[in-house]
Chains A and B, each alone.
Chain A
């Protein structure tokens, strides 16, 4: 456990020393949120119109969705790229020779994911609060716990990506593609309700949609659905595979 915490702390410090990565992780989701806010405004659908954004104001829908999107960027782009890069350069080899276990590496990356996603969430909420009059969570503690659980799950998926990607470049490309697709069809782009048939089908296969729903439930005070079950299965399977397939070189 000590090793995980020390390596985690070291990795967080190393993350903070990459200015570009930090700015991207913290600022990009907020910029995207502002663009959507500029497009859709902040008014719920008028009576008689098609009901979108679960009947909420767009920002009440998008703020939690973008919290998830920011976590996805950290877990599916930053972490796999970083891990695959460390593997390519022989950093993991160096750790292994000193008896650092795969679980310690995974735990350290989880610490990075939790820290950076939380920081990014704080920036996003603060930025959005200045401009928009969105709904704050109905159940704040439950929302926070769901958010952290979502980060843990995505870290498992990120681990699998880094194990499968042959190089850091490959990891980055695959992560970016997944992130874009999930942003567009997973609930952080057009509202779920306006997706056409095939898009909806794709959307249902992405973890993104399920995690956005998971966070919307305590945030907007909706009834819990089965999304947590789908995501738990995806995340547990990926995380287990990611650890099993973990490669040192």
Chain B
């Protein structure tokens, strides 16, 4: 059995004139929680839908659990779980009926009542779909995605619409899926979610993958490190220190921007020049910094093309 749950190479998909995915390439290992980050309309959802065989990729090599989603879509969908960004249930279906039905599609999973309790829906068991709040619906969709104990789960903006407490409960449950060995692909807008959950993330920009790495390593690779201290004298010499990009001074507050081991270099240079500021410290870049840098396309607001929805 291959170590890869998903392998995508050069996935391309366009809707008429609108390019949705333009050479998307990445691998997901078995048992991994893999995040897809990116702005709206950059191809994340299209990619995930192509991987489930819900849309047909125009070109590219796709392999999901060893199957080609274009040729073995139904077989594949029996082995995966999915929470889709745009879907619904009949208004009058009850929570327990939905779980019982979806659990029956691929037998062998845990008792559906257990999944219902896990996702905090036990007291809503007899409520109709139409009467659920946005957050409850979202939890139900996530529960439906895992009710068959799939080998691989796709969560497309799983925690959008959840309140902060529910979000953290959802994180714990995703972590439990990981412990069970389930591979998870997580499309998200939340950097804290990606940092908390994902083993690796792929940052999408311009309809392709700009970078793939563990969140911390991405920050190292792409985010500038800042060194801050209160100057005790002139600091012009810092411009000549290796790995320093920029030195900004506001009053006596100095901010040095650089990469790699810039903190150690600046510290050594300061000491060599007889300065030993007690507040010397560094600010590590966050995933958000990386995200903004990688996805910056010169527009201040998200003016990316709207992700095309169902062609009805």
| Chain A residues in the interface with B (C-beta under 8 A) | 2-3, 6-7, 10, 13-14, 17-18, 86-91, 93-94, 96-101, 166-167, 248-249
Q: Quick one: which of B62-88 are within 8 Å of A by CB?
A: 74-75, 77-78, 82, 84, 86-88
Known contacts A97-B52, A97-B84; is A91 also within 8 Å of B74 by CB? no
Chain A residue contacts of B74, Cβ below 8 A: 99, 101
Cβ of B58 < 8 Å from any Cβ of A?
A: no
Kindly identify which residue among B77, B87, B90 contacts A14, using a CB–CB cutoff of 8 Å. B90
How far does the Cβ of B287 sit from chain A's closest Cβ, in whole Å?
29
Asked if B101 contacts A6 (CB within 8 A), the reply is: yes
Q: Are A91 and B90 in contact (CB under 8 A)?
A: yes
Evaluate whether A88 and B105 lie within 8 angstroms (CB atoms) in the complex, with A14-B90, A93-B86, A94-B88 already known.
no
- Is B102 part of the contact surface with A, judged by Cβ < 8 Å? yes
| 3 A-B pairs closest in CB distance | A249-B310, A99-B77, A94-B87
Contacts of A6 in B (CB 8 A): 101, 104
What would be 11 A-B contacts, judged by CB atoms less than 8 Å apart? A10-B101, A17-B92, A88-B312, A90-B87, A90-B310, A93-B86, A93-B310, A96-B54, A99-B75, A100-B105, A249-B311
Residue from A3, A88, A249 having most chain B Cβ neighbours under 10 A: A249
- A167 proximity list for chain B (CB < 8 A): 312
A120 to B86, CA, bound (A): 36
Q: Taking the complex as formed, is B241 at the interface, i.e. its CB lies under 8 A from any CB of chain A? A: no
Check if A97 sits within 8 Å of B77, measured CB to CB: yes
Tell me the minimal C-beta distance from A185 to chain B in angstroms: 33
CB-nearest residue of chain B to A15: B92
User: Complex: how many Å from CA A86 to CA B92?
Assistant: 12
For B82, B101, B144, which residue has the most chain A Cβ atoms within 10 angstroms?
B101
- Are A7 and B101 within 8 A (Cβ)? yes
A18 to B93, CA, bound (A): 11
**Contact across chains for A98 and B144 when beta carbons are under 8 A apart:** yes
**Minimal beta-carbon separation of A168 from chain B (angstroms):** 11
Q: How far is the CA of A26 from the CA of B102 in the complex (A)?
A: 31
Q: Is the beta-carbon distance between B87 and A91 smaller than 8 angstroms?
A: yes
Residues of chain A within 8 A (CB-CB) of B52 are 97
How many angstroms between the C-alpha atoms of A166 and B311 in the bound complex?
10
* B105:A98 contact, CB within 8 angstroms: yes
User: In this complex, what residue of B is CB-closest to A166?
Assistant: B312
Verify if B173 is at the interface (C-beta below 8 Å from A): no
Q: Is the CB of B93 within 8 A of A14?
A: yes
